[in-house]
Amino acid sequence: MNSEPRLAQSLVEPALAEAALFVESTLDALLPRTVGPEQRLLKAMRYAAIGGGKRLRGFLVLQSGRLFGVDRRALGRVAAAVECVHAYSLVHDDLPAMDNDDLRRGKPTVHREFDEATAILAGDGLLTLAFGLLAEPDAHGDPFVRCDLVARLAHVAGHAGMVGGQMIDMEFEGKMPALPEITRLQRMKTAALITYCCEAGAIMGKASQPLRSALCNYGQELGLAFQIADDLLDAEGDAEAMGKKTRKDDGRGKSTVVSVLGAERAHAQANALAAQAVRHLDLFDEKADLLRAAAEFAVTRRA
């Protein structure tokens, strides 16, 4: 996988940048804006969701939907919903009672910029908004599809996915979980939503079960590879390029694939996962080349 990292980069970076612009403008249009006594909340929701982030998740929704010719406006809406869920999870994970982080995407975290109560509420508002975006007709003409999008999102975001993963992450602090336990945690905390992004395009395109499963499997391996790459960047990267504090895991006594396997074997593991992810796309023609390149990009990126 590592043979042509620059090719992957040259393919993926402009597509990611284009997706980021599209997702940002969609979020800007969909996020509320009023001048009532609740405007502090709405400002915090915008602050959390707009203006930053790689938008890898939105990109994956757009690309997976493109495989089935799904309408781009609808994809933008679903991508925005996913980015709202991602943003909510960052806001809540950053809270003093959780990871207590001051910096995110190169700016103060929401509870630092506003306050703790506003951050909790902004997260709640973004999560709730996401479900509303998916349930309304603009997300898809077929209500079966919309229900599927909502039900699957609730599954990957809830106790069996992201929320459960964050709980486990906190429970493991200062402990020495084994690799399978860490992998289960990462599947729930990170890979579940990334998998959902890839599945969403298939749901919206009413893909056959084999194609939908292939995209799920791709997303699952990609998500795990992405998380290991993230942990490597945390261990080796510099805070300025990352836009957030680095070497946090060590300081907090968090076990990661990197701390258990060491950097070299973790690199190899991430590459192996990315290669597996690409193999799951064998059912697709060259339309899936950007997704293939994204798997490589996920493990070779520098921020």
Is residue 141 part of the contact set for its own copies (CB under 8 A)? Answer: no
Q: Can residue 176 be called a binding residue for its own copies (CB under 8 A)?
A: no
105-124 positions binding its own copies, by CB under 8 A: 115-118, 120-121, 123-124
Would you count residue 157 as binding its own copies (CB under 8 A)?
yes
Among 15, 131, 245, 249, binds its own copies (CB under 8 A): 131
Closest CB to its own copies among 37 and 210? 37
Binding to its own copies by residue 179, rule CB under 8 A? no
Q: Is 257 an interacting residue with respect to its own copies (CB under 8 A)?
A: no
Quick one: tokens of 153?
């999102």
At 104, list the tokens. Answer: 């995110």
Our finding on whether 50 is near its own copies (CB under 8 A) is no
- Return the number of the residue (157 or 277) whose C-beta is nearest its own copies: 157
Kindly state whether residue 98 participates in binding its own copies, applying the rule CB under 8 A: yes
CA nearest to 225, candidates 179, 272, 282: 272
> Residues 196 to 225: which contact its own copies by CB under 8 A?
none
Taking CB under 8 A as the binding criterion, the range among 11-19, 66-74, 132-140, 282-290 that sits at the site for its own copies is 132-140
Number of residues engaging its own copies in binding (CB under 8 A)? 59
If one asks whether residue 147 binds its own copies (CB under 8 A), the answer comes out as: yes
CA-wise closest residue to 244 among 235, 234, 257: 234
180: how many CB neighbours lie within 10 A of its CB?
8
